[in-house]
Structure formats: structure tokens, C-alpha cells
Amino acid sequence: MDSEQKTTYSLFLPVVFISIALLTVLGSCINPAVFSPVAKSGTIDLSSWDFQIQGAVTLSGEWDFFPGLLLDAPSGGTDTALPALMSIRVPEESLWQNVKGPKGSLGTYGTASYRLTLLFPRRSESLSLLIPEFFSASRIYFNGTEIFSAGKPAYTAEDTLPSYKTGIVSIVPRVGKNELVIQVANFSERRGGFNRSISIGKGNTIQTVYMKSLAMDIAIFGSLLTIGLYHLCLFWLRRQDRSPLWFGLFCIIIAVRSLVYGERFIFSLLPSISWATVNRIDHLSFYLGIPVFSAYISHIFERDISRPAMRVYQVLGLVFSCCLFFPPAVYNSTVVIYEIITGAYVLYIIIIIGYALAKKREGALTTVIGIALFLCFGINEILFNMGIVNTFNSLSIGLVMFLFTQSVLLAMRFSKAFDESEHLGKTLLTMNESLRRFIPHEFFQLLHRQEVDDIMLGDQVEKNMTIMFTDIRGFTTMAEQLGAAKTFEFLNSYFGFVGEVIRENGGFIDKYLGDGFIALFPDSPESAMQAAIGIQKAVVELNREREGTDIPSISVGIGLNYGPLILGTVGEERRMDTTVIADSVNLCSRLEGLCKLYGKGIIVPAAFFDRLHNPKQYHFRHLGQVRVQGRKQPVHVIHIFDGLAEEEFNTFALSRENFEKAISEYQRGRYAEAHELFRELAKEFPQDPAIFTFMSRTHRLISTGMADVCEDLEDAES
């Protein structure tokens, strides 16, 4: 079960509860009008009705109807004495197209009058009438006095002035018979007459009903406008999904449409707005609203709906909108064609939603619940208009409820997308963190990049840095003894020790080279020296922890150098790696190799040693001028033995003075004297490999007879 289904099912019980409560309310609101006065044969008897206790009454039932006539209504005049041309049921037949005449339904355009006789008791009281809107011009008389008008009804289109208007008027009925006459003319609307009954009651009761209706229109407008703007903001924040865009536009269109319906609140907001403008807004909201909603549905059920069908319907909406530039007689006719097309398309959408529900598509269940709520309120609207239940016009509420369910659906989609985005973000973060184990974060900073995907092939930067090369002595032999599994276990343990030391001193490991690695220090050479000494101490600690195990003790050679280097990426588009390239890097590698010949510890060039803040704080000895592979000129190198085990440290420290004397003789070409000094040192310090390295060289020079003619050509290849 996906998140949408879980959320929908979690809403199922509240929806069922609301539906049951609504049905209960409707069931308890059976209209007393079923047993209360209803007009019969053009007369309604209100003589026994207590408006104070029993409330308002809708003037529904059988009215006298005069098609084609505008009855004059002077009290006692001849027109009002005319017999009814026909009788109609209000509100079912109050629209002309619903009236069946001798030749079928009446036409939309023309004039007509309605008449109703009201019987009141001997003791009459002041009452009010709640007047609905008439299509599209009207005048109302009560007992011969004009009490209401909207526009100007006339027999011709030229003389008729259409207008939308509702309101409340006060009347003082007389005892016995009272006459209500309504004149209606229509030459502009596609409906003629009226579709809501007039209500009569006490002034405060009618005022309350009117204010509730007006407040409902305002609340619906505000709700739909807020929902629309909210979803437009959602789209602005996340434009990958266009469903909030179309849904937001649809809500705003319906919000505007709500202003031109019901109590026509738009006339309160814009008193100077014309009838023609409001009428065109009404039609335009229809032409654009459904196509926009279909665009929203197509995004929700994109796997099921036909895109070409949707596009055709949307184009038709734009085409029919162009008809609004013509007179009302034109677009009132064309809208009927569009209504038929829309009915077919809505049926198609309902089929698509049903199919999506059967396929258990995301959003289908929520949409069906919304449609069910809309139908529930729609049925109430029909029952109310028929006078069976005493509730209120609720179709707009049903629409809001449906749109609310779609808001919930979009919220779930947005939440799901956010969850997926958050999951992908966490995955990407985890991936980046994992990749940083292979590519140091400091590498990104040096290349001025933030993440892995920012790095491009060929990115490079030139910078002066300290380079460190390290290597474990005799590792190949040790690996053969331990086997593959234990070797990897040992290496990871060793790198765990030394990696922390590197980071603590501001460096980072650029690359692992089997049992060794290259580390870079962007800061001063001092930090690299401290790290090298820390590594030697870590090795001592590591050896101490492994005493008595099958892992032999290890020693590490370290070479340090400072100089310009190029740091960047090499390879090809589908496989690249980071690297450092420079002569200073090559020299550092050679210096690390000298540890095989000159002993454990750290070997640095004299130029590096001189860059240290206080070189004399370290324990070191000069190894003199040494030739290294790849360089024409010899390099003056220094051996630093801080951090070594106590026994090894003492060996180098105690032999330092005599060792450097021997080196001095060697550098001046006095090989015999140097050989003798090295031989004496070897007796006392047999653990120092540097002594035997120089003894071997001096012996070779002396024994070959080259001591008097050769310069120092020692070959210290690593």
C-alpha cells in the first residue's frame, strides 16, 4: 500500500462520518413545506401560518403565467383580472424553457409575467420578500405598487435593459387577498424567467437567510482564491510537477465565477461593472474552467488519459471563447454546442477516473471520494430546489469539498515528491560522503569545487605544498606470511592510526599506494613534520599492541618535501582520477626510498629543513650530498629520527656526532679516513644501516683505486 492509499484510507472514516452526519441532518430537515402552504391554482393560503414561530415560506407551487405579456398592475386594474393563460409550477417551470406550451417548450427570448395571490389572516404584520435574480430584466408589483426592479423589462430588445440583481424588500400585506405580479423580459441571456423561489417571512428571518447566502458566497470565493494561490506557490517552488499549476488556475477561475453567481457579490465589489461584462465573465469561466481542470486531471492520470483528446477540447474552449466578442444572441447559441461537447468530455473523464480506480492508480480513490461528496451536496441542492428538504443551496459547498479532496491529493503528491527528494538527497549525501572516502574533501576545496559532480576532467590548480611519501619496510615478506585476509586487516588498522594523525595536522591523504600513501599539507612544512613524527609514534604504539601476535613489528620510511606542484584530474571522461604532478613530488618519492639505505625515520632535503620554524628542536643528522634518480645535481639531505622507538632513537642520537664527522670526511673525498670512522661506528652501532651503506661505498672506491680521481658518485636509487 503506497502513501496515497494509506492517507486516503486514514481519511475514509472521517469522510463516512461526515456523510452520515449530513444525511442525518438532511433527514431531520424535512421541509415543513411538505405540510405547509403551497400555491394552488395561482393562490397560496398563508392565513394559518405563524411567521414568528414557523419561519419563512417559499412561494412555491402553481402560479398564473402569462407568456408574451408584461402585465400592468394597478390595484384592481383590468390586467390583473385577466384569467391565467396557463399555470406553471415554481420553481420547476419558472424558467421559460421548462414550460410546455401548445407548441412545445417556450422560447428563450421574449417577455412574460407571473402572478400569485397571497391570502393573509385578519391580523396582518410587516413582512419581507427575498428576491432572487431574474433573467434578465424584471419589475415586481405588490398590490399594484412597484417594490423591486432589475434593469428595464420591455417588449423589444432595443428597449430592454438587462441587469443582475437580488435583494430584500419590505411589504405590509393587507387582510385577505394580496397580489404579487412579476414582469420579466429577456433578449440577452440564454435563460428566461427565474430558477429560485421567492421567500417571504419576518424581516430578521429573511435578512438572516440573505446574509447567510451572501456570507457563503464570500467564504467560497475566499476559500477557492486561497487554495488557488497556495497551489500556484507550490508550482513556483517546484516546477517539475505542473498539476498544482492547473489546479491553482482552476480554483481561481471558479473563485471568480462564484462572484458572478448566487447573490452576485461582484456588484458589491464593483458597483459600476456592466451586465455585459459580468455575463461574459460567466461564459468565459465556463469556456476556460473545464479545459484547465482537464489539464489537471491529465497530469494526475497521465497514463490513462488521451493527450490528443484533451488538446482538442482545450482548443475548442479557446475557439468558443472568441464568440464572446459577438453579441449575446451569438454566444448564447454557441454555448449550447460547447455544453454538449463538455458533457461528453466530462463523461470521458469520469470513465478515465473509474478505470484509474480499477487499476489502483495513485489519486483515483481520493478523487472518487471527492466526486461522491460533490454528488451528495448536489443531491441536496436538487432536493432543496424541489422543496423536499429545508436546507440551503449547497452545490458550491460540494464543489469546495471536491476541490478540498484534490488539494489533499496534491498535498500527498507533493509530500511524496518531497519524501522522494529527501530520500534522494540523503542518498546523494551518503554517496558524496562515500566518494569523499575516495576523493578527499580538501581536494574539492583546492580545486574550488563543492561536490563530486562539479569536478571535470582536466581541472587543475598549481600551489606550493608539502608532500609526504610513506612506505612500510619489508611489507612484501610480511604479506606472504600473513595471507590476503590478515594483510588487508592489518593495513586498514595501520591506515586508521596514521590517517587520524594526518588530519590532526591539517593534511589529507591523496592516494594510497599499496602499503604506502601520498599525503599533502596545504599549510606550513611544520605541520607535515609534526605529522611525520606522529606517524612514527603511532607505529611504535601499533607494534607494542601487537607484541606476542603473529604479526611482526613494522618500520615506516617517510620522505618530506616542499615545493610547487600541480594538483588535478587525469584520465578520460568515463574514468578519471586525482593526481599530483611536479618535480618536487618525484624528489619526495626518492627521499622516502633513501630510508632503505639510511635507516628508519624521516628524510628531508636541507631546503625543507631550513623552512621549519625552529629546526634545532628536532633530533637529526646530516647525510650529506646524495644523488637521487632523475636529478643531475646531488641533494643535501637530512635524517630526522624523532618519534622512533627508544632503542632506535638512542642509536641515532649517540652516533650522531661521530657519524657526521665521518660524513664530513666522505664529502671532502678523504675516503680512507671516512672508511675508518664508519668502521669504528659499525662496531658500536651495528643496527644503523647508514653506517654500512657508507662503509660499502668507501670500500668500493678504495679497492677499485678510484678514490683519488672520482668525485662523489654515490648512487642511492630507490
Domain limits, the chain? 3-31+219-417, 35-201, 441-644
Output the pLDDT for position 79: 46
Confidence at 391, pLDDT banded by 50, 70, 90:
low
Q: What angle do CA 137, 142, 145 make, to 5 degrees?
A: 85
Output the pLDDT for position 300: 81
Q: What angle do CA 713, 717, 718 make, to 5 degrees?
A: 160
Output the pLDDT for position 134: 92
Q: Which of 200, 176, 201, 206 is nearest to 47 (CA)?
A: 176
- In the CATH scheme, what is the homologous superfamily, with its name and number, of domain 35-201? Galactose-binding domain-like (2.60.120.260)
pLDDT (tens digit per residue) in 229-275: 988 988 888 788 888 898 889 889 888 888 887 778 888 788 888 88
Q: SS3 letters for 553-600?
A: CCCEEEEEEEEEEEEEEEEECCEEEEEEECHHHHHHHHHHHCHHHHCC
Output the pLDDT for position 149: 94
Q: SS3 letters for 87-118?
A: EEEECCCCEHHHCEECCEECCCCEEEEEEEEE
Which grid coordinates are listed for 652? Answer: 641515532
Q: Which of 585, 594, 596 is nearest to 555 (CA)?
A: 596
CA distance from start to end of the chain: 66
Rounded Cα distance, 443 and 450, in Å: 10
- Amino acid identity for residue 291 in this structure: P
Instruction: Give the residue carrying C-alpha cell 622507538.
Output: 645
pLDDT (tens digit per residue) in 53-98: 888 899 999 999 999 999 876 544 434 456 767 899 998 888 888 8
Output the pLDDT for position 379: 67
Q: Which residues contact 354 (CB under 8 A, 6 or more apart)?
A: 368
Confidence at 115, pLDDT banded by 50, 70, 90:
very high
Which grid coordinates are listed for 629? Answer: 634518480
pLDDT above 70: residue 623: yes
Quick one: angle between helices 646-667 and 689-703, nearest 10?
Answer: 30
Asked if 658 contacts 677 with a C-beta cutoff of 8 angstroms, the reply is: yes
Instruction: Give the residue carrying C-alpha cell 432572487.
Output: 132
Q: What is the mean pLDDT of the chain?
A: 81
Alpha-carbon distances, residue 130 vs 206, 207, 384 (angstroms): 6, 8, 16
- In CATH, the number for domain 3-31+219-417 is 1.20.1070
Q: 264 — phi, psi (to 5°)?
A: 55, 55
Rounded Cα distance, 418 and 407, in Å: 16
Asked if 638 contacts 622 with a C-beta cutoff of 8 angstroms, the reply is: yes
Asked if 184 contacts 194 with a C-beta cutoff of 8 angstroms, the reply is: yes
Neighbours of 707 (CB within 10 A): 17
Task: Tell me the CATH class for 441-644.
Answer: alpha beta
